[in-house]
Amino acid sequence: MTRAIISFDTELSAGLHQRGASARANFDSSILGRCRDGDFGIHFQMDMLERRGLTGVYFVDPMPALVHGPAIVRDIVAPIVARGHEVQLHIHTEWLEFARLNPVGRLTGRNIGDFPLAAQKKLIGLACDMLVRAGAPEPTAFRAGNFGANDDTLRALAALGLRYDSSFNAAYVGHGCDIALDSRNIGMRVHHGVCEVPVSGLMDRSDSFRPAQLCAMSEEEMRDALDHAAASGAHQFSAFSHSFELLSRDRQVPNRLAIARMEALCRAVANDPRVTSGGFADLPEPPARAGPIRLPDPRPLRTLRRTAEQAAGHLAHEVRYVRSLAYVTANTSRWGKIAGGILLAVA
Ligand SMILES: [Zn+2]
């Protein structure tokens, strides 16, 4: 059986904090996915999963506790645990810059892989404690923010007793992800004492990996990637998203395309008898001599269909934006009316 792990990196935005957003505003946007049409964050995602009887994994970043105090992490963890989904450990070291007390002295860095091994061990250990103090069960799996892990990260995880890492994403190799594994193999395997569970994906061109991320893959690509994993006898299929990924990029409205893709993924996982849903807590380790799982080959027409679908999605969003701007403009002055009228006519 192939275990389908649907995970969500669940995090406040260090960027929003830097631009002056309050902790509450950051929480509302980044965790609840709140916009003028409603909430499309973790609660909405859990509703979607539960309608299909699926269990999700939430990689929660506890680092904002260093800036805002522990209550905000408790507010993230509590509903996930209460609804029976899995909480695992995520880390965004960007928050150290804003911390009242930096646990690694003057060291800062965008990625956990930017730090020496001893500091990585200290930071991951501390993050683990903060997550457990916020009400999560002892985590068994880890994912680095920005997939910015290296081999020392895995050594640190092994020393701390975490069994699984899910920071290997071939799309980030050379862009922050420095784990020395073969990116053409998406099978689970042990590396530096930790079981690596790579992000799944497919080749969308002969030299280009497309990760199984909600906003990166079409329904068709996601179905093909899942089918390939099950047909290859892979132990896992790992698709990921974010707590805020069902919102548009400017977070003003829901992203209907991403919601449709998530619905399609949930349906595909629920309906495939070769696939089970779940997380890491009871994930069996792969047999010692498991063969590699090769990436699905590119299919140019499939890539073209996704490119067209995304272009249409962006266009629809832009049109909505221009229309709302036009309505506002048309209600301001006489010249506004004329300008707004022209915009409405065009959009
Ligand atoms: Zn993240």
Partnered with residue 38 across adjacent β-strands are 35
How far, in Å, from the CA of 230 to the mean position of ligand 1?
27
How far, in Å, from the CA of 324 to the mean position of ligand 1?
31
Contact 279, 285 (CB under 8 A): no
Contact 108, 69 (CB under 8 A): no
- Interstrand relation of 189-191 and 194-196 (parallel, antiparallel or unpaired): antiparallel
How far, in Å, from the CA of 58 to the mean position of ligand 1?
11
Per-residue pLDDT of the chain (347 residues; tens, 9 = 90+): 999 999 999 999 999 999 999 999 999 999 999 999 999 999 999 999 999 999 999 999 999 999 999 999 999 999 999 999 999 999 999 999 999 999 999 999 999 999 999 999 999 999 999 999 999 999 999 999 999 999 999 999 999 999 999 999 999 999 999 999 999 998 999 999 999 999 999 998 888 999 999 999 999 999 999 999 999 999 999 999 999 999 999 999 999 999 999 999 999 999 999 999 999 999 988 777 778 888 888 888 888 888 888 888 777 777 776 766 666 666 666 666 666 566 555 55
**Residue 116: alpha-carbon gap to chain centroid:** 25
How far, in Å, from the CA of 98 to the mean position of ligand 1?
17
Q: Collapse the DSSP code of 19 into the 3-class scheme (helix H, G, I; strand E, B; otherwise coil) and give the result.
A: coil
Q: Collapse the DSSP code of 318 into the 3-class scheme (helix H, G, I; strand E, B; otherwise coil) and give the result.
A: helix
How far, in Å, from the CA of 148 to the mean position of ligand 1?
10
How far, in Å, from the CA of 30 to the mean position of ligand 1?
11
How far, in Å, from the CA of 110 to the mean position of ligand 1?
11
